Structure 1
Amino acid sequence: MNIDINYLLTLSERKLENFSLISHLSTFYKEIFCYFNECKKEIEISNLSNVKFAQQPLWNNILYQFKGKTICFKNWIASNILYTKDLFDENGNFKTLQEISNTLINKSNWLCEYKILKKVVTKQSNMFDMKCCIFTKTTPVNSFNFNSGLNCITDKKCKFFYENMLSKKFKYPCYQSILGRNFCVSKEYWCNIYRNKIKLMYDKRLSEFNYKLLNNILCCNSFLQKCKLRENAKCEFCGNENENIKHLIFDCDNVKGVWQKLNIVMNYDVQWKHIVVGFYLETNSRIRFYNTIISYLAYKIYKFKMKSRIENIIQEKFMLEKSIRYSLEKDINFMLNLSKTCMFKDLVKLLTNLL
């Protein structure tokens, strides 16, 4: 077939099984072309000029689909009919059967293919003045429209395409909108929240815990009841309320003492909002310390309660505080050094003594 790499780059097919033009290539190269098309923005026909529409490739182009699949007629390709402009005459009319017949080299099944092409192309071409086809030229294209804008690909590395693919595939977590409403957090602050609560955490275990907390997927009795693994969602310690994640970590009677002691050390009233999304309006060493110590305590509370349930141990308040105190004494230097908050060592020691 008389096509080259420049023509293949202008195509928009994204499904491997439908990409007929490259069926002769190995799977690796097929996937490369499909993922390249994934990175590109979808063609919006309403934004195309007359000339740009006339320059659209006919084959494996998502603009032209028949029965949900892009079309590819190899006899037409062999006859050098490659672009939309090749189907229209100087008056802007779709070429007649006789005109196409004179062009085609191999005419097997061409009447059926002609009917299909006319149906799918004229459906789109009615929006444009096709008289421009007679003087429209096609030249190799090096710049394509990605999520990040119009970019020339000749000097781009793998990282560029990877970041474009991520930006296109990324979807905001479902629970983010709920937290945004409950805590009055604007959209522009979420990057800071994820950065502070996940990326900047010194320990990946805390990052994982915060990720689950932000997405409301930590294990608790309410969750287990929904999964039909428990008959009720009552808290095992106080028995007064249903145990959701907030009750498990913050509201239960056996954890309130931990947060009250932290309030004394920080000279600040820590709320559930601070445990979930942290402090995000600014970034400095004190804010980093607050986010670290709050996440650490929430993580240790959660792990103690889960371990107690597995081992069938009663979740006594003094045992919880003793466990956290022991962990703080063991982890204090490691935590402060890696989080670069050594200047707050005295506050951690004070908290340890209070516990």
Structure 2
Amino acid sequence: MDGSEETLNIALQLLHSFSQYSGLNVNFEKTHVVWIGALKYSTQSIKARWKLVWGCTQFKLLGLTFDVDLPKMIEQNYNDKLVKLENIIAHWNRRELTPLGRITVVKTLILPMFIHLFVSLPQPREAICKVLNDKVLKFVWQGPSKIKAKVITKDFDEGGLKMVDINAFIKSLKLSWIRKVIQGQNKFTSLAKKLIDFNILCNTGSLYAISAVKNITNAFWIDVLTIYSDFVKSINIDSVDKLVDMPLFFNNCLLINNKYIFWKYWYDDGIRFVKDIIKDSGQILSLQELQAKMNKPVNFLHYEGIKKVLSTYIVSVQNVKLKDYKVHSYPILSTYIKPIILNSCNKLLYNMLKENSEIPTCQTKWNEYFADDSIQWKNVHGQVFKKTNNTYIQWLQTRIIHRILGTNSHLFKMGLSDSKTCTFCKMSEETITHLFWDCNTVKILIKDISDSLKNAKIQIVINSKMFLLGDTNVNDSCFILFMEVKKYIFECKRKEVIPNFQGLKASLKLSLNIYANTTNESNKGIFWKVIVCKRRLELFPFEGGRVIFGQSKKINKT
């Protein structure tokens, strides 16, 4: 339409005629007419047979709010979703959930609400991303963060909680557009290919994306190419295959006089990857061999320049030697583009983007406490999530390992407790190690457990490292027993009740009853046939394994 009355009426008549044949009627009373171009803010109306809504600057289509001023469109859509986010958070804040449960809410209810915006719109302003991230973290922790943001996004066995790294998540969704364009054959992909030469993008390094950005004005594709360039730079060349499949041109690792390399006659003759100028023995081709392969003369300066920078780079790559190179099929895609093209889902991309070298602070502190640098931290962090589904126990052990459990010492420093002395002995400062191991009251309880195990002919020497952090040398049932004991001790601390062996037995019975009704009998270990008391051995019909336990039974003060 050209903005005239005639063309508008023709278009409306066509829609009306179509409705008579298809039965799909246009609700003209709710149809908004939006001026674009020079008249985008105009309130001018055109007389038509049907009643239309004039003077609009926005309309909603496929879940997105469109605005005649495109830059406003991004902020408007995100602000609308942030309002809905507040409502979801307010609803779930009324429930008593652990951070593990709240992370599940983030993954299943909050982030899916934004995915359409992440995929369809250019990157939001940094301020909007910060607001979104801050709101989500505040919801997860119900206040200030207890564990570093870079740590909680890691897997369980790395000390994380599998929290979503929102920034990496957005980037992985943006990168998926490169795969869609390369593999797709439709009108949209053809438009994208007019902006960017995806053939060169797939066969060169990050600097091509940077140079392409200078020639386009589309904000969405500028974001995609910028993210791709950063992604390529983050890839670690840690194997011979990655090294030989690395592109020669537009590669930020191979620069001559601080400028990228691109020799079109090499590229057109198929010399695009490191592999193309490497012999089967792993040595760089000589000038004569390269000329024979290309069947044409090669500029001597070009050859010597690339040979020098490539040789220097190969030496700088640790633990990767070209002599280990074995001939394989010709690479269809470069090292950099393979993770994007060869994976149908974004999980691998996301994992690569969120990867960081941050180490939980707690590991250093526990190493100092035990004077032991050989602790297998992957096993320590991950075993509670492998051996039980009980989120109460999982979160309790996570707080113990990360040293963020609310002991009196910790609460006193925060101004939330009047005293930092132990709830049980009233003598020493109540730290995590004191509460669960050094306190005399707890020592008596652990000694009773140890004696009962010996009476049952189960030989286990319980030490502080095994009890506090867990030990992969003990079976699942023993690990769950220690967790149940720590749960009982912490419940006694919260209720200001002195822990004792009879109270522990009652707590274990309750947990066992829940286990008996919720777990497959075929999932057995060797320990739960022993529920101990001071004088005799009691046998119960169910045995240990992967256990789901409930809350501790209330224990009277003794």
Q: Same-fold call, TM > 0.5? A: yes
Question: What corresponds to 2:228 in structure 1?
Answer: 33
1:54 touches 1:133 (CA, 8 Å); kept in 2?
no
> Number of residue pairs matched?
268
| Aligned counterparts of 1:276 and 1:322: Cα–Cα separation in 2 | 22
Residue 55 of structure 1 is aligned with which of 249, 266, 283? 249
Question: What corresponds to 2:530 in structure 1?
Answer: 347
The amino acid across from 2:486 in the alignment is A
Unaligned ranges ≥5, structure 2: 1-193, 265-298, 307-329, 455-459, 539-554
Cα deviations across residues 301-334 of structure 1 (Å, max 9, x unaligned)? Answer: 113312x1xxxxx42345xx55433321121144
Query: Is 1:198 matched with 2:352?
Result: no
Question: What corresponds to 1:330 in structure 2?
Answer: 510
For the aligned residue pairs, the C-alpha RMSD in angstroms reads: 4.6
| Aligned counterparts of 2:226 and 2:485: Cα–Cα separation in 1 | 46
Q: Residues 216, 263 of structure 1: CA spacing in aligned structure 2 closer, same or farther, 3 A cutoff?
A: same
The amino acid across from 2:359 in the alignment is Y
| Aligned counterparts of 1:271 and 1:297: Cα–Cα separation in 2 | 14
Question: What corresponds to 1:84 in structure 2?
Answer: 261
Percent pairwise identity: 20
TM-score scaled to structure 2, two decimals? Answer: 0.39
Counterparts of 1:117-132 in structure 2 under 5 Å? 131-132=301-302
- TM-superposed deviation, 1:194: 2.6
Cα deviations across residues 86-119 of structure 1 (Å, max 9, x unaligned)? Answer: 69xxxxxxxxxxxxxxxxxxxxxxxxxxxxxxxx
1:53 touches 1:84 (CA, 8 Å); kept in 2?
no
Q: What SS does the aligned partner of 1:345 have?
A: coil
Cα deviations across residues 6-37 of structure 1 (Å, max 9, x unaligned)? Answer: 44454548xx9x96667515388568736744
TM-score scaled to structure 1, two decimals? Answer: 0.58
Cα deviations across residues 163-202 of structure 1 (Å, max 9, x unaligned)? Answer: 4335x22522111133234432526x22222332333224
Question: What corresponds to 1:266 in structure 2?
Answer: 453
Cα deviations across residues 30-78 of structure 1 (Å, max 9, x unaligned)? Answer: 68736744762389xxxx99xx897225xxx6999xxxxxxxxxxxxxx
Cα deviations across residues 117-175 of structure 1 (Å, max 9, x unaligned)? Answer: xxxxxxxxxxxx99217998xx99713269xxxx6654334333234335x22522111
Counterparts of 1:144-293 in structure 2 under 5 Å? 144=335, 154-158=341-345, 159-166=347-354, 168-169=355-356, 171-183=358-370, 184-186=372-374, 189-230=376-417, 232-267=419-454, 268-281=460-473, 287-293=475-481
| Aligned counterparts of 2:509 and 2:237: Cα–Cα separation in 1 | 56
Question: What corresponds to 2:12 in structure 1?
Answer: none
Q: What SS does the aligned partner of 1:169 have?
A: coil
1:198 touches 1:211 (CA, 8 Å); kept in 2?
no
1:142 touches 1:153 (CA, 8 Å); kept in 2?
no
The amino acid across from 2:528 in the alignment is K
Question: What corresponds to 1:300 in structure 2?
Answer: 488
- TM-superposed deviation, 1:338: 6.7
| Aligned counterparts of 2:358 and 2:213: Cα–Cα separation in 1 | 27
2:421 touches 2:427 (CA, 8 Å); kept in 1?
yes
2:530 touches 2:537 (CA, 8 Å); kept in 1?
no
Question: What corresponds to 1:100 in structure 2?
Answer: none
The amino acid across from 2:508 in the alignment is L
Structure with larger RCO (C-alpha < 8 A, sep 6+): 1
1:202 touches 1:335 (CA, 8 Å); kept in 2?
no
Q: Residues 333, 142 of structure 1: CA spacing in aligned structure 2 closer, same or farther, 3 A cutoff?
A: farther
2:247 touches 2:334 (CA, 8 Å); kept in 1?
no
| Aligned counterparts of 1:276 and 1:21: Cα–Cα separation in 2 | 59
| Aligned counterparts of 1:249 and 1:235: Cα–Cα separation in 2 | 11
| Aligned counterparts of 2:226 and 2:515: Cα–Cα separation in 1 | 44
